[in-house]
Amino acid sequence: MDIPRIFTITESAHRIHNPFTPEKFAVLGAALRLASGARVLDLGCGSGEMLCTWARDHGVTGTGIDMSPLFIGQAKRRAEELGVAHQLKFIHGDAAGYVAEEKVSVAACVGATWIAGGVSGTIELLARSLHAGGIILIGEPYWWQLPPTEDVAKGCLAHAISDFLLLPELLASFGQLGCDVVEMVLADQDGWDRYEAAKWLTMRRWLEANPADELAKEVRAKLSSEPRRYATYTREYLGWGVFALMLR
């Protein structure tokens, strides 16, 4: 079981697989006022940076699940490196339908809401693992500026303008799903650069090491086109944030 290989090629050197920086995760951890020993569940945990740093900085315990064996291996090594492996469990698997055996204080899906068919399904899924009064974290894109045309939305790698909402509408939509928005931390363009531009050096080095690979042509084309596409579209139009929700 694995995610499409193109992601593990382009993001093999990432610790964080979204436009958040280590500073943004630190701000979010502090904003949530995490108690030592609090249990955190992270569906689509990637390389585990959120759980590992919160275990180190706030003493949380937790479980992360991800479909990528590469990312889960990186998460386990990061937990060892930070001396928090005894506080955390990383599982390689499909997070669709995953419900924790013991209820958690924080149930998160930070940038992988397709796991349960979108934001609404993901909130429902996470709620099944949550203590009464616990916090749900949803990491999700929104339109920083509304694209003027469908072509611009496609340039941002969306299927259509209707894929995402403007921030006020996204916040209002959480209310319509029965949640209070109790905190949020938003990514900025520097964070987008760390996420997107970091892929370019990774791709360049991968191409040098794997010139005969079956994906070499695709990676070559991506490396040639991505800087301009990203600067024209994603960097100008797409926002991203983590939203902390409590069920009403």
Ligand X SMILES: C[S@@+](CC[C@H](N)C(=O)[O-])C[C@H]1O[C@@H](n2cnc3c(N)ncnc32)[C@H](O)[C@@H]1O
Binding site for ligand X (CB under 6 A): 3, 16-18, 44-46, 49-50, 65-68, 71, 94-96, 110-112, 115
- C-beta of 111 vs 191, nearer to ligand X: 111
Specify the residue, 14 or 39, whose C-beta has the smaller distance to ligand X.
14
DSSP H or E stretch at residue 141: strand 130-143
Are the CB atoms for 244 and 32 separated by under 8 Å? yes
Output the smallest distance, CB 172 to ligand X, in A.
24
Length of the chain: 248
Give least dist CB 149 to ligand X, A.
Answer: 26
**Residue 212 to residues 65, 203, 204, 217, 219, Cα–Cα distance (Å):** 33, 14, 14, 9, 12
Distance CA 190, CA 205 (A): 23
Q: What is the DSSP letter of 34?
A: P
Output the smallest distance, CB 144 to ligand X, in A: 18
95 vs 245, beta carbon nearer ligand X: 95
CB of 192 to ligand X, least distance (A): 13
What is the H or E stretch that residue 121 is in?
A: helix 119-127
Query: For ligand X, which is the closer residue by CB, 16 or 84?
Result: 16
Query: 36: Cβ–Cβ under 8 A, 6 or more apart, which residues?
Result: 58, 59, 60
Closest to ligand X by CB, 73 or 220: 73
- In whole angstroms, the minimum distance from the beta carbon of 97 to ligand X comes to 9
Which residue's Cβ lies closest to ligand X? 46
Is the distance from CB of 46 to CB of 17 less than 8 angstroms?
Answer: yes
